[in-house]
Amino acid sequence: MTHDAQQLAEESLTRRVLASFAGTPDDRLREVMQSLVTHLHAFIRDVRLTEAEWQAGIDFLTGCGHITDDRRQEFILLSDVLGASMQTITVANPVDGRITESTVFGPFFVEDSPRIPLGGDIAGGAPGQPCWVQGRVTDVAGNPVPGARVEVWEADEDGFYDVQYGDERVAGRAHLFTDDDGRYRFWGLTPTPYPIPHDGPVGRMLAAVNRSPVRAAHLHFMVTAPGLRTLVTHIFVEGDPQLAAGDSVFGVKDSLISAFDVQPAGTPTPDGRDLGGRDWARAEFDIVLAPADA
């Protein structure tokens, strides 16, 4: 077969597949499916995908399916390490210097976390350096947002979320509500870097391409308030060497890096809590929410 004939055969197949979606009644579904086919065919032709490589891809996705259950979502991990989760978030949240930036949700959020009062402790016995976190939630005009629900969750100093222990513990997570001035404050743990689950197909893929599964140290936030857009984000730890080494799911944004100032043992705490001679840290994170319809 000549080069031209080969090219015609490949292009004609793509055109026929595209045409098979032409009758899709829903305009958006048709647009998404036809674009997917266009890019998928272009990828296969670009890398000259072999049949063995195609089969390896099918086996990989099958493996992702087999390890996925109520507690483990390998397809989201795959989306995360490919940067697809962050690209979707980036497209959905246009850059606006006034609004706190969003980042990846991750698989470790749990509904119905314990409610704590302002100044309460989210650790629930999880090991780590105590860390006082405070800030203020406002709208883009600078008005305080009272009664905003602030959900926070994080790994312990060993790099594990409570749900990864396989027992019923609830630790390193809670929610609280901002006061009349939009302010919040709580005790958490100074975040430390930890690896995303890497004992499955995604971990093997990362190893094959010589990539680390480690995430930069972070504390998760989800902030909701009536009439304002829900914010899903993290704060990262200034000076964490993993920031330079790279976050395995591409979640870092410069505006989300905060100082976690370590206070020597014996430094009075903001609420008078006695930490029994331990050092502790403090961080400040002000949050600006977009209007719901922005």
Residues at the contact surface with Fe ion, assessed by CB under 5 A: 106
Q: At what angle do helices 74-81 and 201-208 cross, to 10 degrees?
A: 30
- In the list ligand BEZ, Fe ion, none, the entry touching 185 (Cβ below 5 to 8 angstroms by class) is none
Q: How many Cβ atoms sit within 10 Å of the Cβ of residue 43?
A: 10
C-alpha closest to that of 102 among 246, 193, 221: 221
CB of 206 to ligand BEZ, least distance (A): 12
CB-CB contact of 242 with 217 (8 Å): yes
Task: Establish if 123 lies at the interface with ligand BEZ (CB under 6 A).
Answer: no
C-alpha closest to that of 289 among 146, 152, 108: 146
- In the list Fe ion, ligand BEZ, none, the entry touching 80 (Cβ below 5 to 8 angstroms by class) is ligand BEZ
Task: Establish if 77 lies at the interface with ligand BEZ (CB under 6 A).
Answer: yes
181 Ramachandran zone, left/alpha/beta (phi>0; psi -120 to 50): alpha
- Of 78, 163, 231, 249, the one binding ligand BEZ (CB under 6 A) is 249
Q: Give the integer Cα–Cα distance in Å for 65 and 74.
A: 7
CB of 111 to ligand BEZ, least distance (A): 15
Task: Establish if 215 lies at the interface with ligand BEZ (CB under 6 A).
Answer: yes
Q: How many Cβ atoms sit within 10 Å of the Cβ of residue 196?
A: 20
Q: Using CB under 6 A as the criterion, what x/- string covers residues 163-202 for binding ligand BEZ?
A: ---------------------------------x------
Q: For ligand BEZ, which is the closer residue by CB, 99 or 196?
A: 196
CB of 154 to ligand BEZ, least distance (A): 9
CA dihedral 169, 173, 179, 182 (to 10 degrees): -170
CB of 76 to ligand BEZ, least distance (A): 7
Residues 101-120 that bind ligand BEZ (CB under 6 A): 104, 106-108
